[in-house]
Structures are given as C-alpha cells and as structure tokens.
Amino acid sequence: MPIVSQEDAAPARTTTPSLATRGPVLIVGSGLIGASIGLALATHGVPVRLSDASPSALALARDVGAGQPSADADDGGDVRLVVVAVPPDVTADVVARELRAHPGAVVTDVASVKGIVLEELADADLAAEDLARYVGSHPMAGRERSGAAAADADLFAGRPWVIVDHGSSSPDALMAVRHLAVDVGASPVQLSAREHDEAVALVSHLPQVIASLVASRLQGAPESALALAGQGLRDVTRIAASDPQLWAAILVGNAGPVAATLAAVRDDLAALVSALDEAAVHGPLTPGSMAAASGVVARGNAGVARIPGKHGGARRTYGEVTVLVPDRPGELGRLFGEVGEIGVNIEDFQMEHAPRQRVGMAVLSVLPASVTPLEEALQERGWRVVSA
C-alpha cells in the first residue's frame, strides 16, 4: 500500500455513498485490519474517523488514506458504526467504552477470538440496551504483517466474515454488521462464539503454531542447509513472520480449543516419531514403519483436498502454466498484462525462486481448458514456458 498525502487520500464526504453502510464510521485501532476497513469504506465515500492509542499508528493510517483522525473529523453527525480493531486482550474494554461513548451507534469488533470477548463483556456491567448494540465479528482475512503500512482495501474481497449474535444482539445491529462485511467485499457467515472459536482453532490458530514451530527449527540451521530451501518450506512458514504479541493474545484467548487441536497433532506426531525411531534402529523395512509414514501423508492428502477454493466454494482443480520470468523490474507485470491480452483469467499464482538464479518461475493456475492455448500463445510472444 503506497503512502499518499492527505490531499490525495479519499476525502471524507457526507453525501450518500454507494454502499449500504452509513457513516460516520469510527475505527478504533488503526493498524492492519482497522486501516484496511477504513480504506475500503473511504474509497467509496463513506466518512471514516480513526482513533488509536498510538499517535504514530494513527498518523500512518491517515497517510495511507484510511480516514480522518477523529479529533480532526469535519464530517458532521453522530457516529453510526464503531469498528473496534485492537488486540484481543483489550477488545472487550474498548467495546464497553465505545458502547457508552456512542449511545446511538452499533459497535462491532474484529478480534480473532470471540468467546473471551463475550465473557469479559458480561463482567463490564453494561445495560441490556447497550449490549444489544454490540455484535462480534471476525473477517477471515489478514496477513503476517501488522500496522497500516500493510493495509489493503481489497483484503476482505471474497473472504468469509464471521458474525456472532450473542443472543441479544438487536436485528438492526446484526444488519449493520452484515452491511459492513458485504460493503468491503466479504461474505457474512453467522456462527455462535463457540462454533467460531473451535473452527478458527483448526483453520487459523493451528496453522500459525505449526508454521512458527517449523520456522523456529531453522534458527540454528547452517547456511548450507538453508540455501537448499524450496517452495515447500516457504509455503509452510509464510505466516511464521506474524506479530508474536498479537498471536500470543490470540492463542491464550482461545486456549481451550487450541490446546485440544494441538494435543491431537501431538498424538499423531508421537506415533510417527516412534515408528521412525524403530526404523532408524532396525532398518527402513521394519514392520509398521512404511504404513505409519504413508498414513501421515495419505491422511494429509485427504485433508488438503477438503480445503475450499479461493472464494469459499468447492475446491476446483486448475491447470498450471509455468513461465520463466527474468529477474528484472516490470517483467512480472508484463507477463500478467500479456496473459490478460490473450484473454485468460489467472485463478491463482505462485512465484518460485531458485537461490542465486537470475530467473524466477511464475506458476499460473488457470482453467484446465486454457492451459494449452495459453502455453502456445505465450511461447509465440517469446516467453519461455516450462512443460509440465
């Protein structure tokens, strides 16, 4: 996300925007998620006010065009929607504070854990009519970088956005949060706090812990070993670059479901380690060791086949076209432009780099029927296509 001057940033407007969400919207916590929501709304003309405990985080979010600091806001009117986008351990306190501060507003939060926020809110001594204006939510999109510098207006496009009715959320409040999700391009999914927390323990919190554990084994590895790293290691460890403090709050905030999921992995791991120990001592053909090893990989095959496609629908099998791309500025953009001119949609994309080579391999996922025509058209245009 490029830094833009305040003059270039989307202006706050009071005119009726094209979205269902009505402003002013106040975003409390203008880091990665808060600023991404602010950008998505502000670029469609919704007036967005920002606040943050950190003045520098606030200034950065303003500079990327995510909205106006609430102290400077000149958009008139009362806040209609407050989005709390602070770390999970302070979320309930901030939600309670904002419910009291804006008696006419719907308040939502985007914390990655939902049960603990509800438990803490129950202790906040809020009036029933105030609690009715609160709806928990969680956009299932993010990245391994924090802060507004990594914000992206398209972060939520095509992603699920979980909405949690705590039992006495008002229909108007639920509708306002659904509108927010849809307006930023996401698909609302209603779940209970418990259903949410158990689901994210498996699909989000477990992958984070495993990525971190794998990457932590690399700390003392010799350079000569690291130089052999390929795409598999990069795929498994991308999210190991995440913020330790934020993730500590997420993991302890969802301690029960995360511990249960990790215990199941520990049992699978213990069985494999014991089979491999036997094979190490008695040889690779020791009875049971092949079955134990292939079982781990085969059960992984079955699991990975169940991950839905990029917009949450059934997983599609795409064909791949691999193209060698010179390691020069602009070459990838030229490739994408030419694939567009050829009339083929890129469904997914991966860049693979071999250490010390001056080319990268762009792996384009396209509909199976497009593979051969695309390969031929790219070759005619002078691209080096790697045959499957």
Ligand X SMILES: NC(=O)C1=CN([C@@H]2O[C@H](COP(=O)(O)OP(=O)(O)OC[C@H]3O[C@@H](n4cnc5c(N)ncnc54)[C@H](O)[C@@H]3O)[C@@H](O)[C@H]2O)C=CC1
In contact, 265 and 206? CB cutoff 8 Å: yes
Give the single-character DSSP code of 314.
S
In contact, 385 and 337? CB cutoff 8 Å: no
In contact, 323 and 386? CB cutoff 8 Å: yes
d(CA 12, CA 23): 10
Residue 112 binds to ligand ENO (criterion: CB under 6 A): yes
Give the nearest distance from C-beta 20 to ligand X in angstroms.
22
Angle (CA) 121 123 124, round 5°:
65
Binding segment (CB under 6 A) for ligand ENO, from list 13-21, 45-53, 137-145, 318-326: 137-145
Touching ligand X, residues 236-265 (CB under 6 A): 246, 250
What is the token pair recorded at 312?
């949450």
Residue 194 binds to ligand ENO (criterion: CB under 6 A): no
d(CA 67, CA 85): 14
The residue among 23 and 31 lying less far from ligand X, judged by its C-beta, is 31
Nearest to 42 by CA among 59, 72, 21, 71: 21
Residue 150 binds to ligand ENO (criterion: CB under 6 A): no
- Partner in contact with 53, chosen from ligand X, ligand ENO, none, beta carbon below 5 to 8 Å by kind: ligand X
Residue 204 binds to ligand ENO (criterion: CB under 6 A): yes
In contact, 134 and 164? CB cutoff 8 Å: no
Q: At what angle do helices 244-253 and 206-216 cross, to 10 degrees?
A: 130
The residue among 65 and 160 lying less far from ligand ENO, judged by its C-beta, is 160
Binding segment (CB under 6 A) for ligand X, from list 86-94, 264-272, 279-287, 350-358: 86-94
Residue 132 binds to ligand X (criterion: CB under 6 A): no
Residue 54 binds to ligand X (criterion: CB under 6 A): yes
Residue 96 binds to ligand X (criterion: CB under 6 A): no
Q: Which residues pair with 101 in a beta bridge?
A: none
In contact, 163 and 189? CB cutoff 8 Å: yes
Give the nearest distance from C-beta 369 to ligand X in angstroms.
35
Residue 254 binds to ligand ENO (criterion: CB under 6 A): no
Give the nearest distance from C-beta 143 to ligand X in angstroms.
5
The binder of ligand ENO chosen from 29, 142, 147, 160 (CB under 6 A): 142
**Which stretches of the chain bind ligand X, using CB under 6 A?**
28-34, 52-54, 57, 85-88, 90-91, 94, 110-112, 138-139, 142-143, 146-147, 246, 250
